[in-house]
Amino acid sequence: MNRVSVRRDGVVLSCLDGGSGDDVIVLLHGLAGSGRELVPTAEALLPERHVIVVDQRGHGYSTRRPQDLSRRAYVEDVVAVVEQLAGGVPVTVVGQSMGGHTALLFAAKYPELVRRLVLLEGGVGGREDRGDYPAELGDFFASWPVPFADVRQAAEFLGDTPIAQAWLRDLDRCPDGLWPRFEPEVMRVAIGAVAARARWDEWQRVKVPTLLVLGEHGIIPAAEVQRMLSLRPDVEQVVVPGAGHDVHLEERDVWVRVLRQFLTSTSAKEPPRQRATPRGG
């Protein structure tokens, strides 16, 4: 896959782009992640599909300190990526966690740009029952004793979980040591926008084929999942046994198999899609 840049609103969005064809898949990572953790997913879909893996603003190789961290900014970033890299063809948008929330809002606001929606441990947002978890996450990321002197020191602090391994692989090698590819305060503000309110209206506006993939030990509350499915009984749900929130890292083969099956089954049912009318930048 080739690394390319999309520029919008003073922000550089770094993307990995590969494959070909009109079946375009856009992959969106979660909070404090990057597109790199979704590369194995992308590679499993190549070469017969066109796959775009996005480093969302504030993450990875994209602009690290963007001024606008609103949900609208993240959604408009996806629009820019689809128009500039996919030529306006309706895409399948796949998002994990916060990336799933971005994907949901994108699908609700721009139905003409969406062919399918896949939420991986992603929900409608809100979650007042969890207290001030954006602040807690921000405090956690701020507690990292950076710069790390080397990978060993980083591993001793972060541990050996799948998400920790993803963070280790993504560390930025600077002259003074190893740094994460995100800023704690940016993470706090970004997830705060997700937590601000539940997006039930947007969920009900989505009409395209939708897949909801959850880990058996994931973080989306059962009551939220039940309401999502009751409001949209057409949604296909898969629960991955033994997996937590990071299904794509913990049970990669199962996740890829489920995703591929969904893409194949929905392709057989859909008529050809027309390109959407491009917008201005």
Kindly tell me if the per-residue pLDDT of 273 is higher than 80: no
Task: Identify whether 68 is part of a domain.
Answer: yes
CB 149 within 8 A of CB 155: no
Q: How high does pLDDT run on average in the chain?
A: 94
Task: Identify whether 213 is part of a domain.
Answer: yes
Q: What is the pLDDT of residue 131?
A: 64
Q: What is the pLDDT of residue 280?
A: 47
Residue 205: give the domain boundaries. Answer: 2-126+198-267
CB 47 within 8 A of CB 18: yes
- The residues near 190 (Cβ < 8 Å, ≥ 6 apart) are 31, 58, 69, 74, 98
Q: What is the pLDDT of residue 133?
A: 84
Task: Identify whether 274 is part of a domain.
Answer: no
Residue that wins the pLDDT comparison between 247 and 278 = 247
Tens-place pLDDT, residues 26-77: 999 999 999 999 999 999 999 999 999 999 999 999 999 999 999 999 999 9
Task: Identify whether 43 is part of a domain.
Answer: yes
Short-list 273, 270, 260, 276, CA closest to 118: 260
Tens-place pLDDT, residues 124-181: 999 766 668 899 999 999 999 999 999 999 999 999 999 999 999 999 999 999 999 9
| Helix H or strand E segment including 5 | strand 2-8
Q: What is the pLDDT of residue 269?
A: 66
Number of domains in the chain: 1
Task: Identify whether 85 is part of a domain.
Answer: yes
HSE-CB of 125 using CA atoms within 13 angstroms: 24
Tens-place pLDDT, residues 183-231: 999 999 999 999 999 999 999 999 999 999 999 999 999 999 999 999 9
Please state, in angstroms and rounded to a whole number, the distance separating the CA atoms of residues 25 and 95: 11
Q: What is the CATH number of the domain that holds 57?
A: 3.40.50.1820
Task: Identify whether 70 is part of a domain.
Answer: yes
- The residues near 140 (Cβ < 8 Å, ≥ 6 apart) are none
- 3-class state of residue 3 by DSSP: strand
Task: Identify whether 160 is part of a domain.
Answer: no
> What does pTM read for this prediction?
0.94
Task: Identify whether 247 is part of a domain.
Answer: yes
CB 51 within 8 A of CB 60: no
